[in-house]
Structures are given as C-alpha cells and as structure tokens.
Amino acid sequence: MKRLYYLCLLTLTLLGFWALGVRLLEGLKVTGLTSYFSWGAWVVLYIFFIGLSAGSFLLSTMIYVFNMHSLEKVGRIALLSALFALIGGLLFVFIDLGHPERFWRSLVYWNTASVLVWEIRFYLLYILLVLAELWLVMREDLGELAKHGTGWRRPLARVLSLGYRPAVTSEGRNRQQAAAARWVKILGILGVPMAVGVHGGTGSLFAVTIAKPFWNNSIVPVVFIVSALVSGAALVTFLYAFFAGEEEDKLGVLKSLAQLLILFIGIDLLLVAAEYLVGLYSGIPDDVEPMHQVIAGQYGLIFWLGQIGLAAVVPLLLCSLPRTRNSSRWLGLAGLSAIIGIVAVRVNLILPAYTVPQLSGLEKAYVDSRLTYNYLPSGNELLTSIGLIAFLVLLFSLTWEALPLVKGNSMRQDNFEGRIQHEGSQSQLHQA
C-alpha cells in the first residue's frame, strides 16, 4: 500500500518535471494565458500554498504562544506544513516567470515601491523563522535519535540536530526545555506579524492594483488571511486525522481543531458576504461584472460547489452533525473538503478580475488569440501543477517518515510550567 502510494507520487512527479522541462525550454507560450488574461493556474496555486503556509504557521503560534495545550500534539505538523507549503508557493511563482533564470534579480534589484519585492523578502525571512522554530521544537527528539537511533535515522538526526544533545540529568533537561519553550514563544510572537505580513501582503499584491476594481478593495488582504487560517486548520486536521496513527485523546485534539475550523469558516463567510453584497449593491460595472461571473457566470460552479460547498457547508456540517463530529475520520474528511474548497476560493479571488476589459471595446480592437479575456489552463499548466504538488507531497511524506513528528512530544510544556509552579511554591515557603 505504502509502496503503491510512493510509486504514484513518483510517477506524477516525473510527469510534472517533464512538463516543467518543456515549459522552461519553450517559454510561456505553452500556457493558455493571454496578454490581457495574464495570470492563471500557477498564480492561483502560488497564493493557495502561501495561504496554506501562513494558516498552518498561525495555528502553530496559537499552540506555542497562546498555550492552547489541547492542540500541542499537532504543533510540529503545523510547522512542517508551513515550511513545505511555502516552498510550494515559491516553486509556483518561480515557474510562472517569463525568464525564470533571472529570478535572482528580484533579490538584488530592490524596487522599494513594489509590494512583490517586499513579499519575496518576507517569504525568505519567514522560511528561516519556521526552520528555526521547527528545530527548536524537535531538537530534543533529534538529539535522542542521534544518540540512540537505529539505521539511517541516526546519521540524519545527527546532522539535523546541529550537534544538540539533551542533558543527562532531568534537571538539565528541564532547563533545556524551558529555554526551548521560551525561544519558541519568542519566535512565535515574531512570527505572528510575519505570517500576517506574508499572506496579508500577498493579498495586498492584488488589493493595490487600481486597474482591477475587483481586487482593489481593502477587504481583500483580510479575506486572504482568514481563508489562509481556514486552509491551515483544515490541513492540520486532515493530516492528524489520517496519518498520526493511534494516539491518546486523538478525537479530543481533532474536536478542538474542528472548533477552530468552524470559527475561521464563519469569519470567512462573513467577509465574502460583505464583499459581494456591498459590491453588488453599489453596482459599479467594473466591479459588478466579475462578481456576476463568480455568482452566476463562468465561475459559478467553482463558487457554489467549491467555495460555498466544499470550503464552508460540507466542513461545517461534518464538524457539527452528531453522527460525524465524534469520528476522527469524518473530521479529517471535513479538513480535506475545506482544503480543496480553498483552492476554489483562490481561483475566484484571482481569475474573475481578468474577465472585464480595462477599456470597453479593447477586446475587439485587435483580434488575436493572445489578446482575449478568456482563459483555460493548458495541458502543460495542469501537468506541471499536478507534478509539483505530487513532488511536495512526496517530500512531505518522506520527511514525515524520517522525523519524529507525531509521537513523543518533546515540548512537555506542562512539565515546564509545573516546575515553575513548584519553584514558586517553594519560594513562598521560604518567605514563610
């Protein structure tokens, strides 16, 4: 079963890399994009993955910064998802470049007025932060593995632990854990504005575009962040439900996640309602036309089935119906449904803006297959997308197997806090 799973992923990955090779050799003519409909599937997946990353990371900060102990078990999954999703986002924005070989210029030539250039720097800093936090929460287990591990895991842990070894005495261990907890908390606190910046900023890329009234709206970055939280919570729910094995109080953890999911979906629906009702009521043609496309036009199916159905109604029902809310499998499926639904949300955030000509009559002024306001992803776009996603899942799965992610929670925050209480009572005794 596992072998089949990896074989499938590997096949898809190779297929995707072949398509990617064609794309890199032939340039962007392999896409279905046009000069007027200039961003498509890859940009949709780019913001989807950045959102997934920011959402997972914010979930991890709730655990480590705001001490949501009930969710402590999924902290590492959340951080690792944040890392891989961000890498995925960067891969998709990379393959969307006309001259990918010049990507380094975005790091060297710094146009301070560009939101995009700030975002790229934000992403890189954010990767470092996630890596640092991930190392801190796992260093004890990695150190253990480096000492007592078996097989290939041992040298791997030796490298990844960066020389860190847990202390021999329990006193020393407590101190180390306390230090790690403190640093995780500090990094988490730094990470909150950073994750908000990473995805709110990604939303701002679109929101600052005065040429597209559909995007040029201050609610857009907020929608980006909230739907990121939905996708992050959904991903962690899905992963924990299906891949964490049998752990104690698994259902309890999943129920807490489901509650968060319900909360995020609720806020997301509120924002979508606000955006569409205000926009449609105001009736400015350039704004209304894309909204019509979403609600009753070419994006209607994606909206009602994906954005409303899969991303909201299905998970809400699964998380609240008495028959399903007590089953870890159903809750996991609620997560999966929400993840797929958020892809639809991302599609409807980007693509409808391109359906309206910037000036009326421009669509007929010069007839050319690359000067239209219609877009369907080409076969190459679909293949590279599926391949890159398979590649990410493959890497994630391998990491999942290699690293101590679910079993053995190294943070033991209760211990650490118990110790503080203990010390506190001792000093009180002394004073007495």
Partner 1 sequence: MSEANRQDEAEKLSRREAAVKLIKISLGLAAGAGVLGEFTGTEKAEAGAMLEVPAAAPPPLPERIPQDEAIFRMQQELHRALQKPVAERNWTMVIDNRKCVGCSTCTVACKAENKLPPGVVYRPVMEEEYGKFPNVARRFLPRPCMHCTHPPCTKVCPVSATWRSKDGVVVIDYEKCIGCRYCISACPYGARTFDWGEYYTDGTPQREKYETEPSFEYVKEWPRAKGRSPVNNTRKCHFCLHRLVNGMLPMCVTSCIGRATYFGDRNDPESLVSELIGNSRLMRLKEELGTAPSVYYLV
Would you tell me which residues interact with partner 1 (CB under 8 A)? 25-29, 33-36, 38-39, 93, 96-100, 102-103, 105-106, 109-111, 113-117, 120, 205, 208-212, 353, 357-362, 364-366, 368-371
Q: How many whole angstroms separate alpha carbon 144 and alpha carbon 142?
A: 5
State both tokens at 326.
Answer: 């007590």
How far is residue 153 from each of residues 140, 160, 167, 244, 264, measured CA to CA in Å? 15, 10, 20, 19, 38
SS3 for 381?
helix
Least Cβ distance, residue 106 to partner 1 (angstroms): 5
How far is residue 284 from each of residues 278, 291, 296, measured CA to CA in Å? 10, 11, 17
Assess contact for 240 and 261: CB atoms under 8 A.
no
Half-sphere exposure (Cβ direction) of 183: Cα atoms closer than 13 Å: 18
- Backbone CA torsion sign across 99, 105, 107, 111: negative
Q: Which is nearer to partner 1, 369 or 428 (CB)?
A: 369
Half-sphere exposure (Cβ direction) of 308: Cα atoms closer than 13 Å: 12
Instruction: Name, in order, each residue with C-beta under 8 angstroms of 8's C-beta and a sequence gap of 6 or more.
Output: 390
Least Cβ distance, residue 365 to partner 1 (angstroms): 4
| Sole residue written with tokens 């609720």 | 266
Q: Which is nearer to partner 1, 11 or 360 (CB)?
A: 360
Least Cβ distance, residue 50 to partner 1 (angstroms): 15
Least Cβ distance, residue 152 to partner 1 (angstroms): 40
Q: Which is nearer to partner 1, 4 or 210 (CB)?
A: 210
Q: Which is nearer to partner 1, 99 or 422 (CB)?
A: 99
Q: Which is nearer to partner 1, 123 or 264 (CB)?
A: 123
Q: Which is nearer to partner 1, 29 or 407 (CB)?
A: 29
Least Cβ distance, residue 113 to partner 1 (angstroms): 5
Least Cβ distance, residue 37 to partner 1 (angstroms): 10
Nearest in space to 303 (alpha carbons), one of 255, 334, 354, 269? 269
Least Cβ distance, residue 215 to partner 1 (angstroms): 8
Q: Which is nearer to partner 1, 96 or 287 (CB)?
A: 96
SS3 for 249?
coil
